Amino acid sequence: MESTHLIACHECDRVFRRPPPLEGLNVRCSRCASDLSSAHLARPTLDNAAAMAVAALITLVIAQCFPIIALKAQGMTSQATLLDAVSSLWAGHMGVVAAVVFFTTTLFPSMELLALLYVLLPLRAGSVPPGFRLVIRFLQWLRPWGMIEVFMLGVLVTTVKMISLARVIPGAGLFAFGALTVLLALVSRFDPHRLWHACDEIEGGDGAAPSGELRTGWSLKEPVVADSLQALSAKQAGLVVCHTCGSVQQLDGVGSHPQCRRCHTALHERRPASVSRTAALLLAAALLYIPANLLPVMHSTSLGRSEDDTILSGVAYFWTSGDWGLAAVVFIASVVVPMLKLAILALLVFAAHRRSTWRPHERTRLYRLVERIGRWSMLDVFVVALTVALVHFGSFAVITAGPGALAFGAVVILTMIASMQFDPRLIWDPIPDEAPAHDDS
């Protein structure tokens, strides 16, 4: 069978026959249970994705232009937009933190929506826009770094925190960010891999596999276990999988510097120096995690008194104030999640270096967990940014960002990059393909 009629799991490298082009088909890998639904040729819902992207872009503009919340205290009023938070951090000599907040809440989400619309609108009209491949690769790179939903949670935490200091008045920006969070969640359900399939259909490429080579009896009600080809990995079969567009190609037919025939991305059997790069980033994050917890993230001055707040003191503040739920949220997002990410990544790196066959299913689930929860640690940085922008009541109360916020933001970014550098296929490489990978009891 030709490689154009194959798909491969991006987590364990197992090769499968391409499923039939049926909308709503839920396909999972029979080896590691990874979701393969984006790899089959279900017709993309371009109209719905375009409508959601337009609505999200309009809502993003509204959210940026109007105040999120306002404070009233001692006859003074203070209000803040997202850009006010960025400018306050910049004025407080926290340019790196200001850049992180601006990129993750303004620049990257807007660029993602614009890039999506740039390719969606022409595809709906039956044409492929210029620079399609570069734009899709850029879109896929941008997607993990948009953190509007984390920022929205930070807004809610900041609102509760400010209630004891002043009267809190919700602004139009708060409701816009709430709507934007929902819209972006709907947009994120659209897999960019479907755009490659739409491009194939328009250009008449390797879009659909012949119906005679497809297994019948697929069900739409239950997840389908993909039909494996002799239980081989792509590496064993002399194939290589493109992580950008998902196409499977013959490795010996792509030259000395292999590039994907479909998207022109550099091809590699395994991510180069995955273990060493992940270990280096992990070590840097672990070293920065110490000052991130010891140094103050905020410095507050009220009626001539100064006080420094660390991450743990903020958790203690919510706990003693009776806001146990928020104390738990902040503690989990700012303390438990970073420690959990560091521990899981250390385990994955150590096991991959030793080529361990210990519990591959559990390690794969841990990898997916790190991928999903990585961004939520940015919560404390967003709380600091909003608090600094809101609390500037002259001699009554002023709050500035501390060096702990910079260290903590660096920990979050480094752990996210570390998880991206780790190649999950290294978990399954030592596992014999001829024997099922059973979990240990």
Complete DSSP assignment for 14-75: EEEEPPP--TT--EE-TTT--B-GGGS-PPP-HHHHHHHHHHHHHHHHHHHHS-SEEEEETT
pLDDT at position 39, please? 54
pLDDT at position 3, please? 62
Helix H or strand E segment including 94: none
Nearest one of 359, 381, 373 to 428, comparing CA atoms = 359
CA distance 85 to 80: 7
Helix H or strand E segment including 250: strand 248-250
Tokens (6 digits) for 399:
């709050």
Q: What residue has token string 């972006």? A: 184
CA distance 107 to 245: 24
CA distance 45 to 24: 11
Question: Cα 4 to the chain's mean position, in Å?
Answer: 29
Please say whether the beta carbons of 3 and 262 come within 8 A.
no
Q: What is the pLDDT along the chain (441 residues), one digit of tens a residue?
A: 456 678 888 899 988 887 766 555 677 888 888 887 665 444 447 888 999 999 999 999 999 999 999 988 777 788 889 999 999 999 988 999 999 999 999 999 999 999 999 999 999 888 999 999 999 999 999 999 999 999 999 999 988 888 877 788 999 999 999 999 999 999 988 888 788 878 888 877 444 433 333 333 333 344 545 555 556 788 888 888 888 888 888 876 555 678 888 888 888 889 999 999 999 999 999 999 999 999 999 988 765 677 889 999 989 988 988 889 888 989 999 999 999 999 999 999 999 999 999 999 999 999 999 999 989 999 999 999 999 988 875 555 678 899 999 999 999 999 999 999 999 999 999 988 644 444 443
CA distance 413 to 102: 14
Half-sphere exposure of 295 (CA within 13 A, CB side): 15
Tokens (6 digits) for 385:
């940014």
- Strands, E, within 310-359: which ranges? none
CA distance 227 to 331: 44
DSSP code, position 243:
T
Tokens (6 digits) for 424:
């999950």
- Give the Cβ contact number of residue 8 at 10 Å: 28
Question: Cα 290 to the chain's mean position, in Å?
Answer: 24
Tokens (6 digits) for 314:
């903020």
Residue 434 burial (10 A CB sphere; 0-12, 13-18, 19+)? exposed
pLDDT at position 215, please? 36
Residue 148 burial (10 A CB sphere; 0-12, 13-18, 19+)? buried
pLDDT at position 259, please? 85
pLDDT at position 62, please? 96
Please say whether the beta carbons of 134 and 28 come within 8 A.
no
Would the pTM count as exceeding 0.85? yes
pLDDT at position 143, please? 92
Tokens (6 digits) for 88:
């306050």
What is each CA distance from 239 to 186, 194, 251, 347, in whole angstroms?
34, 22, 5, 29
Nearest one of 81, 143, 150 to 108, comparing CA atoms = 143
pLDDT at position 220, please? 37
Taken as a whole, the chain contains a residue count of: 441
CA distance 74 to 9: 61
pLDDT at position 145, please? 95
Rg over CA atoms, the chain? 24
Which residue(s) pair with 400 in the sheet? 299
